[in-house]
Amino acid sequence: MTQPDANTLTVGQGEDRRVLAVLTRPARDPGLPGVVWLGGYRSDMTGSKAEALCRQAGLKGQACLRFDYSGHGASGGSFRDGTISRWLEESLAAFERHTSGPQILVGSSMGGWIALRMVQELRAKGEGDRVAGLVLIAPAPDFTLELMEPELTDAQRAALERDGYFEEPTPYGPDPNVYTRALFEDGRENLVLNGLIDTGCPVHIIQGMADPDVPWRHALKLVEHLPSENVTLTLIRDGDHRLSREEDIARILAAVDTLAAHS
């Protein structure tokens, strides 16, 4: 099986210009929808779930698109400049430049929020039929408002006001997570859990019940905002936030296969 093609994509102009690293795999079976990977906060496109999706797409003959948001992985730009709007703009640009025909969006954690916003933006442009389905892995829509703001300490609130950011240790890497005031403010401009999210396509949510970062009840709240038809929720009792075990990845790949078969 051939290796994915490495590309770059320039988004923005002047001081806002950033160059994204992109990996693409062309379709061998144009009758199947492609797969688009949307990673989480501070993750990159070379993680085990993204790699497994790319391998499966190659075996099935599907196109596959992966890329790193600005400030992530191999892409340029400063992480601290990142907001949901900025990463959404990059995701739509990559989608427009490197895909054609229907696509299955696979969003992990924050990538689930971006996937939902992509659907809204594409439908607003009359291109909703470009999305054949959504697979959302431990999705974290509206996480800044719904999950983080209620838990902020006085010291963190003071740091946001004084410094414009605060840092927090993470078990997922040696460097602390950085959360900026701009991220919180921009998050309020991208809320999706404030009404019905009309995706116009099947949605499969996979959520671990032992997830310390995104409580499984957050997935239930998301379901309440989706149309009742064509929504599947899989709860994994011992699943963590990453859902990167072999059995977890098998569930993700099966969900993508099911959506592709019914697209």
Give me the residues paired with residue 106 across strands: 37, 135
Kindly tell me the burial class for residue 119, based on how many C-beta atoms sit within 10 Å of its own C-beta (0-12, 13-18, 19 or more): buried
Joined together, the tokens standing for residue 187 give 């998050």
In single-letter form, the type of residue at position 184 comes to: F
Joined together, the tokens standing for residue 230 give 């064509």
Q: Would you state the pLDDT for residue 263?
A: 78
CATH value of 5-261 in 3.40.430.10, 3.40.190.10, 3.30.1950.10, 3.40.50.1820: 3.40.50.1820
Q: Would you state the pLDDT for residue 170?
A: 83
pTM of the model: 0.96
Digit-by-digit pLDDT tens for the chain (263 residues) are 678 989 999 999 999 999 999 999 999 998 999 999 999 999 999 999 999 999 999 999 999 999 999 999 999 999 999 999 999 999 999 999 999 999 999 999 999 999 999 999 999 999 999 999 999 999 999 999 999 999 999 999 999 999 999 999 888 777 889 999 999 999 999 999 999 999 999 999 999 999 999 999 999 999 999 987 899 999 999 999 999 999 999 999 999 999 999 87
Q: Would you state the pLDDT for residue 259?
A: 97
Q: Would you state the pLDDT for residue 137?
A: 98
Q: Would you state the pLDDT for residue 174?
A: 79
Q: Would you state the pLDDT for residue 228?
A: 76
Integer-rounded Cα radius of gyration of the chain: 17
Q: Concatenate the DSSP letters of all residues of 26-84 into one string.
A: --S-TTS-EEEEE--TT--TTSHHHHHHHHHHHHHT--EEEEPPTTSTT--S-GGG--H
Phi/psi of residue 91, nearest 5 degrees: -65, -45
Determine which helix (DSSP H) or strand (DSSP E) holds 252, and give its type and residue range: helix 246-261
Spans of all domains in the chain? 5-261
